Each structure stands twice: as structure tokens, then as C-alpha cells.
Structure 1
Amino acid sequence: MVTATLLGAVTIAIGAFGAHGLKNFVPTDAVATFETGVRYQMYHTIALLILGSATQVPADTRKWVFRLFILGIVLFSGSIYVLALKAVLPFSVSFLGPVTPLGGLLLISGWIRWCYGLLTIKSG
């Protein structure tokens, strides 16, 4: 829960930068790309808050989903942020192209792991 609340604050700050400061430096399509990274980061931050308060979800499931979501956010949103800034960076970031889908795959894996954890809860 602590990580998710801090991540929420960071996401708002990154989003504010993207909405107010970024449009002066990069093309409009790069701003839209940046906003996609912010949106997915916030979706998963909210999901982490829900997961942290879902005590009926087994601890092992919560740990795995947390790890997958955090790594997915870093790789998916992080690579999108850097790729959106490529016009102003002094180096090539083309190597990050394959990182974005890998991050997305980790986010999807987190949701599937969460579903599996819910389906395997022993009732009663």
C-alpha cells in the first residue's frame, strides 16, 4: 500500500510534466504517447491499492502480482516515457522498442496471476 501511494504521487507528477511541460519540447504525437504511459501507470497503481487491501487474496498471489505490476510499470511506462522524449535526448533510444511489449506482457501476467490466485482460494 505504501509503494502504491508513493507511486500514485509520482504518477501525478509525471502526468503534470507531460501535460504542461512536455508540449514545448516534443511533437504532439509524442505527448500523446507519453500520456499513454501515464494512464497505464495510474491504472496499475490503483490496482495495487485494491490488491493491498484485498486481504482475501492469498499473500503469495499478492506478492507475485505486486512484483509483476511494478516491473511491468517500469518497463512499459518507463520505456514509453523515454521513447516519447527521443526528440530531445542526445542519444538513440531505439533499443527500447522491444522493452515496451515486454513490460506489457508483465502487466498482463500480473492480471492473470491475480485471476489464478482468486480461482484457487479454498473456501470454507
Structure 2
Amino acid sequence: MGRCFISLAALFGATSVALGAWGSHGLKSRFTPELLEVFRTAVHYQQIHALALLGVGILALYRPSLWINASGVLFTLGILGFSGTLYLRTLWDLNLGFATPLGGMIFMLAWLILGVTAWRIR
């Protein structure tokens, strides 16, 4: 799973840079300041959690465990749920309000599982 998480982290990292550049240059004139801030939040959280997923992938290569894998899956779902719904809201005016906070809760769970698992590694 480690290689899979590292590959996903690279994909999420690259797309966050592309989306961030597009938001700063291509969407600036099309969005209200409020929508642009929502888009930037989506990019920011995607970037942070792509790095977290990279760390999980590296950890999974050297200390594979079910819990490390669970954390990686949850980081992936969190990116899709949190950032993905914010992208849908800003780009296509599709509001999936319930899914965005759920994505945030999934992020928190991923971080907690990662922390507890890392603490338990001998």
C-alpha cells in the first residue's frame, strides 16, 4: 500500500499546484472573492493532506500495518470529500454541504489514527 499512497500523494500534490495556479490566474476574474477563498481553501487542504499521505506512504513501506493503511485510505477519502466538494461548489455551483464537514471529520480521524499508530511503533 505504501507505493499506492505515495503515487496518490504525488497525484494530489501535482493537481493541487495546477488547481492553485488556475485559481490564482484563470478564475480570479470569474469568481467572487468569497468563492475564490473557498477554492483556495480546497487547494490548501489538498496540499497539506497530500504531504500527509506521502508520509503515510513512506511509513507504510517501512512499517506496514492495517492501521497505517487505514490512515492512508482516510486521508485519500478526506481529500476527495473535503476538497472535492469545495471544488464542486465553486466550479459547478453544486453544494453538497453535508459532505464537506464529513470530509473534515475523516481528516481528523486519519490524523488521530496516524498519531496513535506511530506512538505504538516499537
TM-score, length-scaled by structure 2: 0.86
Q: Equivalent residue for 2:44?
A: 39
> How do residues 81-92 of structure 1 correspond to structure 2 at under 5 angstroms?
81-85=87-91, 89=92
> How do residues 29-108 of structure 1 correspond to structure 2 at under 5 angstroms?
29-54=34-59, 55=61, 57-85=63-91, 89=92, 93-94=94-95, 96-108=96-108
Q: 2:31 aligns to what SS in structure 1?
A: coil
Deviation at 1:79, TM superposition (A): 0.7
Deviation at 1:120, TM superposition (A): 2.4
Residue pair 2:53, 2:76 contacting (<8 A) in 1 also:
no
Deviation at 1:59, TM superposition (A): 2.5
Identity of aligned residues (%): 36
**Ranges of 4+ aligned residues in structure 1 off by more than 2 Å:** 54-59
Q: Which moved more, 1:25-34 or 1:51-60?
A: 51-60
How many residues are aligned here?
A: 116
Structure 1, gaps ≥5 residues long: none
Q: 2:27 aligns to what SS in structure 1?
A: helix
Residue pair 1:57, 1:118 contacting (<8 A) in 2 also:
no
Q: Equivalent residue for 2:3?
A: none
Deviations 1:60-98 (A, max 9, x none): 22211111011110010011112123xxx4xx623x011
Q: Which residue identity lines up with residue 99 of structure 1 in the other structure?
A: A
Equivalent in 10, 32, 41 of residue 15 of structure 2: 10
